[in-house]
């Protein structure tokens, strides 16, 4: 009995020690918590980010949870990059341009004037023409993980007064992206910067004459179609380049399988937006009547296209990285043009 009791006590002591040693492993299973802020307000966020976050949280099965915040809830959109870089927030969904990234590729995020015609141009450029590697390298330099790029809606004017010629743009106060605004000043547009959530009221009060921020799908989804009257069918760009980013240190703390899950969920989100916008851009023009369609004649719009080519060269002269990106964009567009239909028409 004594021997047995001694064996039992020894075994019990070992078990107790093992339990003590195992305690940190139990604590390590506490869910990883991330805060992600998007550029989008709540109405738009229902489509462009919420499903992806919900899917991730479900599949992660308690190992990690992403808390979603909409435009300006934690920090203003223009401060998103700095907040992520400092670790105030863990991840961001945005374009480079509107969150003021301090990189050489920032001007190409959002809407780089007339560089893209269709939504498929974005994944083609990033996955097959080398932009993915350039973005990853540029953001790694400033402590940020570039997770992925996606194609979103085209950029059109929605205005209170009709736009039928370039002359009609003169003096129009327009909410738009920094680089797009820089380009549009050539045609007399006055770019205005406001918090995203203030745009609708600014259109109502007359502080804004219009927006050049999205396609028609977004105009109807977020309510801007209720406070504007006209939609210009000529677009500044055929697709927005948007991304998912994360603080590099926080990204490196996440186990590989959860990193991969995040990538998959975000890629699915890019894909959803691609077909959601594509379908909506056509359907809303045809079936809805809040916004009357106007167009600038092709011959006159060719002036804008010619100015865009000059603008590209001006941007390319600013740095070797910008020159490299512009060269890729030129090569890509030249290939699409030579390939003909359905890649390019005219």
CATH number at residue 91: 3.40.190.170
The range of the structural domain enclosing residue 231 comes to 155-239+288-339
Residue 295 lies in a domain: yes
**CB-based contact 157:211 (threshold 8 Å):** yes
Residue 177 lies in a domain: yes
pTM of the model: 0.89
Q: What are the strands of the beta sheet with 91-94, ordered from one edge?
A: 64-69, 32-38, 91-94, 241-247, 144-151
64 in the same domain as 180: no
Total residues belonging to the chain = 346
145 in the same domain as 159: no
How sure is the predictor about 11, in pLDDT bands with cuts at 50, 70 and 90? very low
Listed residue (32, 31, 50) closest to 40, CA to CA = 50
Q: What is the pLDDT of residue 2?
A: 42
C-alpha 187/C-alpha 212 separation (Å) is 13
210 in the same domain as 66: no
Number of domains composing the chain: 2
101 in the same domain as 69: yes
Residue 195 lies in a domain: yes
How sure is the predictor about 346, in pLDDT bands with cuts at 50, 70 and 90? low
170 in the same domain as 92: no
Residue 135 lies in a domain: yes
Q: Using the 8-state DSSP alphabet, how is residue 247 labeled?
A: E
Residue 22 lies in a domain: no
Residue 18 lies in a domain: no
Residue 25: count of CB within 10 angstroms of its CB = 8
Of 5-19, 143-157, 159-173, 261-275, the one with minimum mean pLDDT is 5-19
How sure is the predictor about 30, in pLDDT bands with cuts at 50, 70 and 90? confident
218 in the same domain as 195: yes
Q: What is the pLDDT of residue 197?
A: 86
142 in the same domain as 246: yes
Residue 11 lies in a domain: no
326 in the same domain as 214: yes
**CB-based contact 139:245 (threshold 8 Å):** yes
C-alpha 41/C-alpha 162 separation (Å) is 27
318 in the same domain as 179: yes
**CB-based contact 125:278 (threshold 8 Å):** no
Q: What is the pLDDT of residue 196?
A: 87
302 in the same domain as 207: yes
Please determine, for residue 227, whether its predicted confidence score (pLDDT) is greater than 90.
yes
Please determine, for residue 32, whether its predicted confidence score (pLDDT) is greater than 90.
yes
135 in the same domain as 66: yes
Residue 14 lies in a domain: no
Alpha-helical regions (H) of the chain: 2-28, 42-48, 50-59, 80-86, 121-128, 131-140, 178-184, 199-205, 216-222, 248-253, 256-287, 298-316, 320-339
247 in the same domain as 177: no
Residue 155: count of CB within 10 angstroms of its CB = 25
Q: How far is CA 115 from CA 85, 224, 235, 248, 256, in A?
A: 29, 26, 11, 29, 35
Please determine, for residue 15, whether its predicted confidence score (pLDDT) is greater than 50.
no
């Amino acid at each position: 009995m004594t021997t047995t009791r001694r064996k039992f006590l020894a075994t019990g002591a070992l078990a107790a020690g093992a339990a003590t040693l195992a305690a940190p492993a139990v604590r390590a299973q506490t869910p990883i918590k991330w805060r992600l802020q998007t550029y989008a307000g709540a109405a738009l966020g229902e489509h462009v980010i919420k499903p992806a976050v919900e899917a991730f949280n479900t599949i992660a099965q308690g190992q990690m949870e992403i808390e979603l915040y909409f435009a300006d809830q934690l920090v203003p959109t223009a401060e998103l990059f700095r907040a992520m870089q400092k670790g105030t927030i863990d991840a961001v969904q945005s374009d480079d341009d509107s969150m003021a990234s301090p990189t050489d590729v920032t001007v190409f995020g959002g809407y780089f004037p007339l560089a893209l015609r269709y939504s498929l141009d974005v994944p083609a450029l990033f996955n097959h023409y080398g932009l993915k590697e350039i973005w990853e390298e540029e953001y790694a330099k400033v402590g940020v993980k570039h997770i992925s790029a996606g194609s979103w809606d085209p950029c059109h004017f929605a205005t209170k007064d009709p736009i039928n010629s370039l002359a009609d743009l003169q003096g129009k106060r327009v909410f738009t992206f920094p680089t797009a605004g820089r380009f549009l000043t050539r045609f007399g547009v006055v770019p205005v910067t406001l918090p995203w959530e203030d745009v609708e009221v600014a259109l109502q009060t007359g502080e804004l004459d219009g927006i050049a921020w999205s396609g028609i799908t977004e105009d109807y989804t977020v309510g801007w179609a209720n406070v504007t009257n006209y939609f210009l069918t000529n677009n500044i760009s055929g697709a927005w380049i948007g991304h998912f980013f994360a603080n590099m240190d926080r990204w490196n703390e996440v186990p590989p399988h959860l990193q991969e899950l995040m990538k998959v969920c975000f890629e699915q989100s890019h894909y959803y937006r691609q077909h959601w916008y594509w379908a909506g851009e056509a359907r809303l023009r045809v079936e809805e009547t809040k916004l009357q369609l106007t167009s600038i004649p092709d011959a006159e719009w060719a002036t804008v296209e010619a100015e865009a080519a000059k603008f590209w060269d001006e941007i390319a002269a600013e740095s070797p990285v910008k020159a490299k990106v512009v060269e890729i964009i030129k090569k890509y567009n030249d290939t699409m043009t030579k390939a003909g239909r359905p890649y390019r028409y005219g």
